[in-house]
Chains A and B, each alone.
Chain A
């Protein structure tokens, strides 16, 4: 259980175009999803926290107009990299937090996150 998928796994796009990455929780509902960016041989940098039905919360220094996040349902969040540039090339990883049982959609303060396999974006 607790499987998170990402699509696509790899994408190559031309500079100036936009690309959408999907993150799905396959066997659980997630009110909260997280988007991370990982540079080569570096740690994961949290970009934003996505809550179903509301606006995403972006970390300091992350351009919200460039990295558009939509969390339209309890099982799907999307990250759109707009007007991509070569410096946006990176490994993007999402994670999803299950709704704790018995606590409803507001959830509690839990930390369980299940990670997707990542998406390698290359902008040429």
Chain B
């Protein structure tokens, strides 16, 4: 079964420092991978996604992620964080199901809460 693991529940980094959020997935085929960000009390915003091709994916707000098949990882990085980056970050994998309209669902990791130290 497909699954996503985010081993870090909470991370605190200083403003201006670099950031890496870890994500490991379990999937039998080439995965569809996503990173979403959620601000308190808000919905989810897509930061970036990987479907195929270049394994280094650029996203919005200066984020990037690298797909490493050998490590089953899709870690999110940012070279210099800003106070506005404080939020909850979710890694997710697309899980194929078969049926009417071939609908496919997304399975989310447990999330990593990012705090920024002034």
A residues with a Cβ closer than 8 A to B are 4, 6, 31-32, 34, 41-44, 46, 49, 51, 54, 57, 91, 93, 95, 97, 105-111, 113-118, 120
Q: Does B70 contact A (CB under 8 A)?
A: no
- What is the interface of chain B mostly: helix, strand, loop, or mixed? strand
Q: Contacts A32-B103, A57-B99 hold; do A115 and B111 have CB atoms under 8 A apart? A: no
B 103-118 contacts with A by CB, 8 A: 103-111, 113
Would B100 and A117 count as touching, CB distance under 8 A?
no
Closest CB pairs A-B (n = 5): A111-B94, A115-B44, A117-B43, A115-B43, A109-B102
Would B41 and A107 count as touching, CB distance under 8 A?
no
Chain B hits for A41, CB < 8 A: 113
Q: Contacts A43-B90, A43-B111, A111-B32 hold; do A51 and B103 have CB atoms under 8 A apart? A: yes
Would B43 and A118 count as touching, CB distance under 8 A?
yes
Interface size on B, residues (CB 8 A): 28
Q: Contacts A109-B96, A111-B32, A115-B43 hold; do A44 and B108 have CB atoms under 8 A apart? A: yes
Q: Contacts A42-B110, A43-B90 hold; do A110 and B104 have CB atoms under 8 A apart? A: yes
Chain A hits for B100, CB < 8 A: 51, 54
Would B103 and A44 count as touching, CB distance under 8 A?
no
Can you give 17 A-B contacts (C-beta < 8 A)? A4-B43, A41-B113, A44-B108, A46-B105, A49-B105, A51-B103, A54-B100, A57-B99, A95-B44, A106-B101, A106-B102, A107-B103, A111-B104, A114-B46, A116-B43, A118-B41, A120-B41
Q: Does B42 contact A (CB under 8 A)?
A: yes
